[in-house]
């Protein structure tokens, strides 16, 4: 069964950092672009970042560029999102999403508050 499992969310103060992880199983991780998507409470889906199969191309939404870094480790079958200089408006459930047929994880909640 193809599966994505996110972890690493939690409560962090404004200006703080968090590292999210997404563990992939049931498919060849290195064959796919991967994405991070977020959803603020009561709001719609928002694409955050994408990374190519080989990790050599990365794209970010404007409001996180320079603060967030997407990365991947094919040996660990894992996707990461390093989030620095967090703001209250970054509060959301963060999902990982596999390209092509579109496999979603269950999400992990990030709350930025003092």
Partner 1 sequence: QAVVTQEPSLTVSPGGTVTLTCGSSTGAVTSGHWPYWFQQKPGQPPRTLIYDTSNKQSWTPARFSGSLLGGKAALTLSGAQPEDEAEYYCLLTYRGGRVFGGGTKVTVL
Are 33 and 41 in contact, with CB atoms under 8 Å apart? no
For residues 18 and 93, which CB has a smaller minimum distance to partner 1 in the complex?
A: 93
The contact set with partner 1 (CB under 8 A) reads: 35, 37, 44-47, 50, 59-62, 95, 100-107
Q: Please report how close the Cβ of residue 60 comes to partner 1 at its closest, in angstroms.
A: 7
Are 25 and 3 in contact, with CB atoms under 8 Å apart? yes
Q: Please report how close the Cβ of residue 92 comes to partner 1 at its closest, in angstroms.
A: 13
For residues 16 and 91, which CB has a smaller minimum distance to partner 1 in the complex?
A: 91
Q: Please report how close the Cβ of residue 101 comes to partner 1 at its closest, in angstroms.
A: 6
Q: Could you tell me where the DSSP H helices lie in 52-104?
A: none
Chain centre to alpha carbon of residue 2: 18
For residues 16 and 111, which CB has a smaller minimum distance to partner 1 in the complex?
A: 111
Are 89 and 67 in contact, with CB atoms under 8 Å apart? no
């Amino acid at each position: 069964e193809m599966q994505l499992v996110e972890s690493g969310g939690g409560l962090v103060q404004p200006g703080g950092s968090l590292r999210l992880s997404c563990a992939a199983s049931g498919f060849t991780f290195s064959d796919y672009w991967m994405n991070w998507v977020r959803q603020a409470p009561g709001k719609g889906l928002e694409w955050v970042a994408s990374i190519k199969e080989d990790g050599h191309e990365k794209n970010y939404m404007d409001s996180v560029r320079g603060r967030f870094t997407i990365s991947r480790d094919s040996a660990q079958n894992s996707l990461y999102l390093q989030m620095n200089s967090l703001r209250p408006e970054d509060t959301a459930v963060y999902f990982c999403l596999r390209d092509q047929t579109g496999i979603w994880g269950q999400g992990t909640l990030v709350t930025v508050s003092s």
